[in-house]
Amino acid sequence: MKKYTDQGKKDTRSGFGAGLAELGKTNPRVVALCADLVGSLKMDAFIADNPDRFFQVGIAEANMMGIAAGLTIGGYIPFTGTFANFSTGRVYDQVRQSIAYSEKNVKICASHAGITLGEDGATHQILEDIGLMKMLPGMTVINPCDYNQTRAATLAIAEHEGPVYLRFGRPKVPNFTPEQQEFQIGKALLLQEGTDVSIFATGHLVWEALIAAENLEKEGISAEVINIHTIKPIDTEAIIASASKTGCVVTAEEHNYYGGMGESVARVLTTHRPTPQEFVATRDTFGESGTPQQLMEKYGLNNKAIEKAVHKVVTRRDG
């Protein structure tokens, strides 16, 4: 079994900042916009290098989305930066009409997604954003798992023509994927092969899935772990191949089970290969204040919750 090691804890938003800074040096068409959250989004390096290609819009997210759409007319590739909540729910109609329906090449980069935003509480912890964004026709939805992958994804979306929602987070989490990796949009990554159960995880839950798999191995359960970094378009082939082998599936995400990655996986499976599935996700609830770790524990979003779901789904398959 391949072991992944934590190369040191880093926040995924810093991976975005590093990727954006790199794009600032390599791609003159990339411009960035921010709604008063430059520090939180780690955009300082890009701004220092490219002051003329950065637009501070103030606390006006709707305007930011419209300006970004307009900047594409003239050949630019705008990257917008604000929290996930303000990148989606607050500006849904602007994203829908001016960006998605108008097929504009805007990259909506959303930090502080999910419950691990922590102490700020439910007003800021969006657990509905994946659903909102994946429902928009033509929108690509990406949720990378660590610093290195977020950096790689940031570089990759600049090369992709069309609107993208890039979701990342606030807390420092294990950085375990290779430093110089290629990010292929829509291509799931098989992190660990297994035969008894398929764990499809996205974002911060990928590391938790790897820990769960390690613990399960001690009990004699061989878990396959697949990183679904791209939720739309989802990697149908990878899902069917793994589910065909193991016969049962657990999905794990920091999102409501309504509208999340798990539902996308379920759609693939019910269409192609009906398979028992358990969902590690929040269950139609808002979050609350607390440390990221406390919240992951309370809302059932950690390796223990994944292990529990695996036991349940294996029993269902065998029952």
Partner 1 sequence: MVSPKNALTFEGIKHAQMSELKDLEALVVQVRRDILRMVHEVNSGHPGGSLGCTEFFVAMYNHVMELKDTFDMDGIGEDLFFLSNGHISPVYYSVLARKGFFPLEELNTFRKINSRLQGHPATHEGLPGIRIASGSLGQGMSVAIGAALAKKLNGDPHLIYSLHGDGELQEGQVWEAVMFAAGRNVDNLIATIDRNGQQIDGPTEEVMPLGDVKTKFEAFGWEVVSLQDGNNLEAIIQTMEEAKKRTGKGKPVAVIMETVMGHGVDFMMHTHAWHGKAPNDEQLELALSQNPETLGDY
Options 93-101, 128-136, 251-259, 298-306: segment touching partner 1 (CB under 8 A)? 93-101
Closest CA relative to residue 253, chosen from 306, 211, 304: 306
Least Å from the CB of residue 42 to partner 1: 23
Measured from the Cβ of residue 218, the count of other Cβ atoms closer than 10 Å reads 7
Instruction: Say if CB 144 and CB 169 are below 8 A apart.
Output: no
Token pair in block for residue 50: 């490219």
Q: With respect to partner 1, which residue has the nearer C-beta, 52 or 182? A: 52
- Burial (CB count within 10 angstroms: exposed 0-12, middle 13-18, buried 19+), residue 8: exposed
Stretch that binds partner 1, among 98-106, 127-135, 143-151, 217-225 (CB under 8 A): 98-106
Q: Verify binding: residue 76, partner 1, rule CB under 8 A.
A: yes
Among 93, 119, 179, 237, binds partner 1 (CB under 8 A): 93
Q: Which of 12, 87, 94, 116 binds partner 1 (CB under 8 A)?
A: 94
Distance CA 171, CA 295 (A): 12
Determine which residue in the list 15, 17, 24, 66 makes contact with partner 1, applying CB under 8 A.
Answer: 66
- Of the two residues 93 and 159, which places its CB atom closer to partner 1 in the complex? 93
73, 119, 178, 293: which one binds partner 1 (CB under 8 A) = 73
Q: 230, 192, 206: which is closest to 280 by C-alpha?
A: 206
In whole angstroms, the minimum distance from the beta carbon of 47 to partner 1 comes to: 15
Q: Does 276 bind partner 1 (CB under 8 A)?
A: no
Burial 263-282 (b: 16+ CB within 10 A, else e): bbbbebbeeeeebbbbbbbb
Query: Which is nearer to partner 1, 185 or 240 (by Cβ)?
Result: 185
Give the neighbor-by-neighbor strand order of the sheet with 107-111.
54-56, 30-34, 77-83, 107-111, 164-167, 140-142, 230-232
Tokens representing residue 91 in the block? 């500006």
CB 177 → partner 1: shortest distance, Å? Answer: 32
Per-residue binding letters, 43-62, with partner 1 (x by CB under 8 A): ---------xx-x-xx-x-x
Residues in a beta bridge with 226: 190, 200
Looking only at the bridges linking them, the beta strands covering 107-111 and 164-167 are parallel
Of 36 and 288, nearer to partner 1 (C-beta) is 36
Residue 80 interacting with partner 1 (CB under 8 A): no
Mark 187-226 with x for binding to partner 1 (rule: CB under 8 A) and - for no binding: ----------------------------------------
Q: Which stretch binds partner 1 (CB under 8 A): 99-107, 147-155, 264-272, 294-302?
A: 99-107
One-letter identity of residue 242: S
65 part of the interface to partner 1, by CB under 8 A: yes
According to the binding rule CB under 8 A, does residue 157 interact with partner 1? Answer: no
* 307 classed as catalytic: no
Looking from the CA of 254 toward its CB, the CA atoms found within 13 Å total: 36
How far, in Å, CA of 49 to CA of 137, rounded?
Answer: 35
Query: For residue 16, which of 106, 129, 89, 107 has the smallest C-alpha distance?
Result: 107
Show which residues are catalytic.
61
- Positions touching partner 1 (CB under 8 A) are 29, 31, 52-53, 55, 57-58, 60, 62-76, 78, 93-94, 96-98, 101-104, 161
